[in-house]
């Protein structure tokens, strides 16, 4: 993604070889600032406090967290401790465990003296692969948008998305946004309905920001508007990301995704889920029963922040004494998913098709 003429990834190693740079997403869209991670605790905090977020980027940050840990202490004890510390940050996105398992499998057999360098290289590979995977998801999803566009003549393809499964959720491209960026770049007219995605507003703060940077026409809507727009023929397709996809094709994504899938089904609108194959948890089948759903602070519901002049202000929305609840993800059953858009192709959300991927 280009910002002010410079191409950025969302995470990269500092040329000093000792630290890692991220974009601090808690400051978007008001400020575009980087933050430096120098020890594994920084990486763990960046994930749990959501300076970085989005399943693939959580995995990439965890990989670099392991590399930072190995720079400081490459013993078996430090390796196990770093794994546990990073694993405890957020429970839902499976990419976290995937990246940690991958790093552990590479590092554990090595002599301690070789671990730091190997960890650094493996983390870089995780990032490079994420970019290639998302680009391939973009190519596969582009074909879907192209088909819809062919039926619409010169009218734009109206695409609804929820949360941020964009560039900012990955190392580059995004998953759900990759087909949108590729369609836009190919000259296909697209327009994106961006769910604001309360309580943290990843749609309004992040997706709208990056679509705007890329020049993609978009409109931010409140989370409850999607069903109405679908009933009135204003949505041609829905595409979202996922934090964990089960072996039978259930998808767990940001809270509110399930309601969009229900509305899409009721209105005969295709509901696509874009995912890199590391987001598949082959050990889990029934997403509703088996996927741990992150329960975040009720303060995220109670307070909302925004810019007022140069200052960012936080205001209390609730009457004193009212409780708030904040389940952060929900599960959309496979039967509501039209297809999964992966780097290996577009497949039905079925156990057979998912098993055939590996």
| Binding region for substrate | 53-55, 90, 202, 253-254
Buried b (16+ CB within 10 A) or exposed e, 344-358: eebbebeeebbeeee
CB 220 within 8 A of CB 203: yes
- In whole angstroms, how close is the CB of 292 to ligand MRU at the nearest point? 14
32 vs 10: CA distance, rounded Å: 11
Nearest distance from residue 152's CB to ligand MRU, in Å?
26
By the 8 A CB rule, do 260 and 234 touch? no
Residue 333 contacts ligand MRU per CB under 6 A: no
Write down the least CB distance from residue 355 to ligand MRU, Å.
22
Binding of residue 163 to ligand MRU (CB under 6 A):
yes
8 Å CB contact between 161 and 168:
no
Encoding tokens for residue 12?
């990269």
Check residue 203 for interaction with ligand MRU (CB under 6 A). Answer: no
Distances from the Cα of 71 to the Cαs of 40, 44, 211, 243, 297, in angstroms? 9, 16, 37, 29, 33
Which of 42, 223, 243, 330 is an active site residue?
A: 243
List 42, 195, 236, 243, residue binding ligand MRU (CB under 6 A): 243
Task: List Cβ neighbours of 225 (8 Å cut-off, separation of 6 or more).
Answer: 193, 195
Among positions 164-193, residues that touch ligand MRU (CB under 6 A) are: 165, 169-170, 175
Nearer to ligand MRU, 115 or 214 (CB): 214
Q: Is residue 85 within 8 Å of 40, Cβ to Cβ? A: yes
Site size for ligand MRU (CB under 6 A): 17
Which 302-331 residues touch ligand MRU, going by CB under 6 A? 328
Which residues lie closer than 8 Å to 284 by C-beta, 6 or more apart?
A: 244, 246, 247, 290, 291
By CB under 6 A, tell whether 198 contacts ligand MRU: no
Q: Cα dist. 69→66, 171, 260, 272 in Å?
A: 5, 21, 41, 38
Query: How far apart (Å, rounded) are the C-alpha atoms in residues 321 and 105?
Result: 49
Binding residues: 53-55, 90, 202, 253-254
Site string for ligand MRU, 100-139 (x = CB under 6 A): ----------------------------------------
Judged by CB under 6 A, the residue of 59, 141, 203, 241 near ligand MRU is: 241
Following DSSP, what letter does each residue of 182-216 receive, concatenated?
HHHHTT--EEEEEE--TTTTHIIIIIHHHHHHHT-
Output the residue with the shortest Cβ distance to ligand MRU. Answer: 241
Of 33-41, 115-123, 238-246, 341-349, the window that binds ligand MRU (rule: CB under 6 A) is: 238-246
For this structure, is 49 an active site residue? no
Write down the least CB distance from residue 64 to ligand MRU, Å: 17
Residue span binding ligand MRU (CB under 6 A) among the ranges 67-75, 112-120, 121-129, 163-171: 163-171
Among 43, 51, 55, 190, binds ligand MRU (CB under 6 A): 55
54 belongs to the binding site for ligand MRU (CB under 6 A): yes
The answer to whether 269 and 230 are in contact (CB under 8 A) is yes
Stretch that binds ligand MRU, among 102-110, 214-222, 241-249, 312-320 (CB under 6 A): 241-249
* Residue list 11-50, contact with ligand MRU (CB under 6 A): none
Which of 113, 163, 131, 162 is CA-nearest to residue 59? 131
- Report the residue from 207, 242, 338, 342 that binds ligand MRU according to the rule CB under 6 A: 242
202 vs 162: CA distance, rounded Å: 8
CA nearest neighbour of 187 among 133, 237, 149, 137: 149
State the residues that interact with ligand MRU by CB under 6 A: 53-56, 93, 163, 165, 169-170, 175, 202, 241-243, 253-254, 328
Which positions are catalytic?
Answer: 243
């Amino acid at each position: 993604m280009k910002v002010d003429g410079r191409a950025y990834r969302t995470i990269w190693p500092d040329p000093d070889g000792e630290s890692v740079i991220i974009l601090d997403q808690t400051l978007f869209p008001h400020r575009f600032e980087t933050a430096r991670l120098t020890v594994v605790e920084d990486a763990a905090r960046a994930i749990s406090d959501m300076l970085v977020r989005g399943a693939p980027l959580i995995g990439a940050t965890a990989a670099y967290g392991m590399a930072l840990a190995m720079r400081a202490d490459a013993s078996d004890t430090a390796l196990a401790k770093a794994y546990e510390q990073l694993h405890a940050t957020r429970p839902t996105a499976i990419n976290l465990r995937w990246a940690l398992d991958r790093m552990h499998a590479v590092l554990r057999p090595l002599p301690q003296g070789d671990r730091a360098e190997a960890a650094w290289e493996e983390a870089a590979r995780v990032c490079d692969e994420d970019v290639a995977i998302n680009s391939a998801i973009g190519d596969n999803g582009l074909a879907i948008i192209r088909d819809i566009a062919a039926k619409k003549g010169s009218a734009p393809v109206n695409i609804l998305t929820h949360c941020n499964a964009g560039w900012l959720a990955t190392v580059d491209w995004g998953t759900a946004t990759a087909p949108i960026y590729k369609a836009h770049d190919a000259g296909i007219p697209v327009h994106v309905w961006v769910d604001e995605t309360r309580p943290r507003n990843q749609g309004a703060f992040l997706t709208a920001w990056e679509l705007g940077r890329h020049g993609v026409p978009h409109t931010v809507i409140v989370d409850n508007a999607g069903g109405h727009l679908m009933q009135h023929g204003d949505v041609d397709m829905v595409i979202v990301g996922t934090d964990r996809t089960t072996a039978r094709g259930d998808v767990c994504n940001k809270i509110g995704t399930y309601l969009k899938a229900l509305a899409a089904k009721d209105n005969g609108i295709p509901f696509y889920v874009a995912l890199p194959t590391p987001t598949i948890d082959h050990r889990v089948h029934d997403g509703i029963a088996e996927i741990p759903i992150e329960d975040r602070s009720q303060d995220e519901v109670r307070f909302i922040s925004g810019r007022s002049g140069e200052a960012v202000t936080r205001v209390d929305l609730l009457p004193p004494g009212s409780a708030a609840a904040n389940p952060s993800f929900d599960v959309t059953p496979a039967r509501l998913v039209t297809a999964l858009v992966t780097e290996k192709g577009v497949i039905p959300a079925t156990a057979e098709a998912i098993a055939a991927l590996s």
